[in-house]
Chains A and B, each alone.
Chain A
Amino acid sequence: MKSKGLKYGIALTFIILVLLGANLLFGSVHIPANAVWSILTGHAVEKASWSFIIWESRIPQALTALLCGAALAASGLMLQTAFNNPLAGPSILGINSGASLGVALVMLAGGGTIATGVFSLSGFFSVILGAFIGSMIIMGVILFFSTLIKSNIMLLITGIMIGYITSSAISLLNFFATAEGVHSYIIWGMGNFGGVSLHQLPYFAGICVAGLLFSILLIKPLNALLLGTRYAENLGVNIRRTRNLLLIATGLLTSVTTAFCGPIAFIGLAMPHVSRLMLGTSNHNSLLPVTLLTGGAIALLCNLICVLPGESGVIPLNAVTPILGAPVIIYVIVNQRKIQYFN
């Protein structure tokens, strides 16, 4: 079991390195491979703009994609285990839209002065704070309902309903907002890994890595939770504390990614399934690390697809992720009788 996790871990790391390279190589501006290499190794190239594009745009974007994917996939997995529901995920349970509402409040109430592109440091933290509070409130509401609603399907539907409510709140905000505010919000809502600039990257990466480390520390209670809360309690897990920690970890990861990259759908929902199917286990010892890696890899792949049109423009990220993610979920639902972790 352990060796299988290790094998996939190594393979995925290799794939991630290849995808990282590809992300640096391809973009809306054509830069030859040897020029990219020279820039990375610190040599001068014929066009100064190339060096700027690589360092200021492609490197932060690729690293953002990697961290974002890992963060979303990890929070998806934690939510699925915590809610005892294989179809839970940040976007399904409305946690994404909670973060969106927080961001919308900050951005739209700010009248377009705070847009993702032109962050001041205070603007940066106010957006993160908005997203974090928004997602935590929704998580809290969902957790509250999960004590009232025993059926998992009903809980999911409740999450979707809450998502609708926050969406209409956002629409109302849009209605009253300035044109600039609406514009920057719509651009943000399409999803984009390019929202983090090089000098913001350390903060973004710091929060993501902290959240991911946090999730790794929760592996043992997560495994116990597979048996349900009563068994977990009997194994010495403090359910309330663990739930709160999971809430904070997923809230942190979801809100920071949503604040910067927009509400990205399906990576959080689908990647835990891809990893489970690959590994053939629900054991978080190997599942969580592999899920982080698949999440990172798929986000890099999505980013690559986004820039495929080359000079004619960039495809919105949220047009790509559902195409890759939704079929996975449909496959899982159709085959649920054959898939062990459903039974």
Chain B
Amino acid sequence: MEKSPVILANDLGIGYRMNKREKRVHSHLSFQLYAGELTCLLGANGTGKSTMLRTLSASQPPLEGELLLQNRPLSEYSEKERSRTIGIVLTDKTQAGGLTVYELVALGRQPHTGFFGRLQKNDHTLIQEALEAVGISHKSRAYLSELSDGERQKAMIAKALVQECPLILLDEPTAFLDVVSRIEIMTLLHNLALEQNKAILLSTHDIEQALVLADKLWLLSKENGLQCGVTEDMILSHRMDDLFARNEILFDYAHGVYYPEVKSRRFIVVETPNDILLHWTTNALNRHGYACLSPEEQQNGLPRLKVKSQNQLLYTTNETQKEFISFEQLLQEINNDTTKK
């Protein structure tokens, strides 16, 4: 069965219009966003991630092109309809420290409640469910100001959930969070997309987590515009190289991380019994200015390093052969060599 997209954009131009002047950020963007999928929007600072999210949440109008939300132009939605269709989570500082978690999440029911915002039984049930879905129902009576940053973000996500929107947009939800909270939030969003069949789009700088949990990647850069696709397709078709238009930043396809380019004229042949040792040996040597070659591409006259284990490192040059019991000793020797020459 063909799923219809929650968001569909054709030849969209985004940017700001101030009086008569136009500050265009991107043109000719075409993309779709589907329910049940977690999509991560990646891009360097200043490439227009926030502009994109603001356009999708109708905080600013597109400059041109077609933008459909559930097969209807976004501009035709009334404020009320929009508030029931798009839920947002921001990193804005709020004044809500004096509200309890429950009260905050209850605010998410505003698009559905009457003039005075009185909550019905059904509303309370939904709030309770949302609190449980994000895993902070035990804190429902705590003040927002008493929460950690991660818990606050979860509360905001619960607020977006009770809005009962098919689409949730999050602007850097994991900024300011520690590793544990980042993983928790991303896993939570992934599960929510799947279990509650939501279309979730988030912007993030946390590429590591995005590559693990995103169903789709949206790569935004000034040079290449927006490139969309399933995470693994994007990686294996080498799209990650285009994300940062800097030659000295490279993408490690084996490990899914970016690293600085190794600038060195010195080479060393490295031989290890497993990939973990190879990875970290290369890491150490790169940092000290050596590029590593594998035994297959061996050239004569180059120093060789044979790492049997963490404490058995055999270093051979034309003149000598030394065995070290730690990377500390090895690196000391290598640096001595460098200074001698």
Contact = CB atoms under 8 A, between A and B. Distances in A.
- Chains A and B belong together in one complex: yes
Interface of A: 1, 81, 84, 86, 217, 219-220, 223-228, 230-231, 233-238, 276, 280-283, 285, 339-343
30 contacts: A1-B100, A220-B115, A224-B110, A227-B92, A227-B96, A227-B104, A228-B90, A230-B88, A230-B90, A231-B92, A231-B94, A234-B83, A235-B108, A235-B111, A236-B79, A236-B82, A236-B111, A237-B79, A238-B79, A282-B95, A282-B97, A282-B98, A283-B103, A340-B97, A340-B143, A340-B145, A340-B146, A341-B97, A342-B145, A343-B97
A53 B117 CA distance: 45
Contact of B92 (A230, A238, A340): A230
A219 B110 CA distance: 12
A340 B98 contact: yes
A285 B98 CA distance: 13
A228 B99 contact: no
Interface centre among A81, A217, A228 (most CB of B within 10 A): A228
B326 to A, nearest CB: 47
A238 B58 CA distance: 13
A281 B107 contact: no
B93 A228 contact: yes
Contact of B144 (A219, A224, A339, A340): A340
B278 to A, nearest CB: 48
Interface in B107-128: 107-108, 110-111, 113, 115-117
Closest 8 CB pairs of A and B: A341-B98, A282-B98, A236-B83, A343-B145, A220-B117, A343-B97, A340-B145, A340-B143
Interface of B: 57, 59, 79-80, 82-84, 86-88, 90, 92-100, 103-104, 107-108, 110-111, 113, 115-117, 143-146, 163
B95 A341 contact: yes
Contacts of A217: 115
Contacts of B163: 235
Contact of B95 (A84, A230, A237, A238): A84
Given A231-B88, A234-B86, A235-B108, A220 B98 contact: no
A235 B86 CA distance: 9
B116 A220 contact: yes
B116 A219 contact: yes
Contacts of B59: 230, 233
A226 B99 contact: yes
A282 B116 contact: no
Contacts of A225: 95
Interface centre among B95, B96, B99, B163 (most CB of A within 10 A): B95
A230 B53 CA distance: 12
B110 A235 contact: yes
Given A226-B94, A231-B94, A1 B103 contact: yes
A234 to B, nearest CB: 5
A64 to B, nearest CB: 29
Contacts of A281: 98-100, 103
Nearest to A287: B98
Contacts of B94: 226-228, 231
A292 to B, nearest CB: 16
A220 B110 contact: yes
A82 B110 CA distance: 18
A281 B102 CA distance: 12
B163 to A, nearest CB: 8
A236 B110 contact: yes
Contacts of B116: 219-220
A147 to B, nearest CB: 13
A148 B87 CA distance: 27
Contact of B117 (A81, A223, A276): A223
Nearest to A284: B117
A263 B129 CA distance: 50
Contacts of A283: 98-99, 103
Nearest to B86: A234
A228 B96 CA distance: 9
Nearest to A84: B95
Nearest to B160: A234
Contacts of B93: 228
Given A234-B83, A235-B111, 20 more contacts: A1-B100, A1-B103, A219-B117, A223-B107, A226-B94, A226-B96, A228-B90, A228-B92, A230-B90, A234-B88, A235-B163, A236-B79, A236-B84, A236-B111, A280-B98, A281-B99, A282-B99, A339-B98, A341-B145, A342-B97
